[in-house]
């Protein structure tokens, strides 16, 4: 999820081209990559 730049607000504000998602969506993205 982080490598794909699908991150929460705190990461997104520090990354160019990131897709900001809610915490629950971020958790789902992490789980889907496991």
> For position 4, what pLDDT does the model report?
94
Residues 6 or more apart in contact with residue 23 via CB below 8 angstroms = 8
Q: What is the pLDDT of residues 8-31, one digit of tens each?
A: 999 999 999 999 999 999 999 999
d(CA 29, CA 6): 8
- Domain housing 24: 1-34
**Domains in the chain, number:** 1
pTM of the model: 0.75
Q: Are 19 and 30 in contact (CB under 8 A)?
A: no
């Amino acid at each position: 999820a982080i490598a794909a730049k699908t991150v929460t607000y705190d990461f997104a504000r520090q990354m160019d081209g990131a897709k900001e998602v809610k915490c629950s969506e971020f958790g789902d993205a992490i789980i889907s990559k496991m």
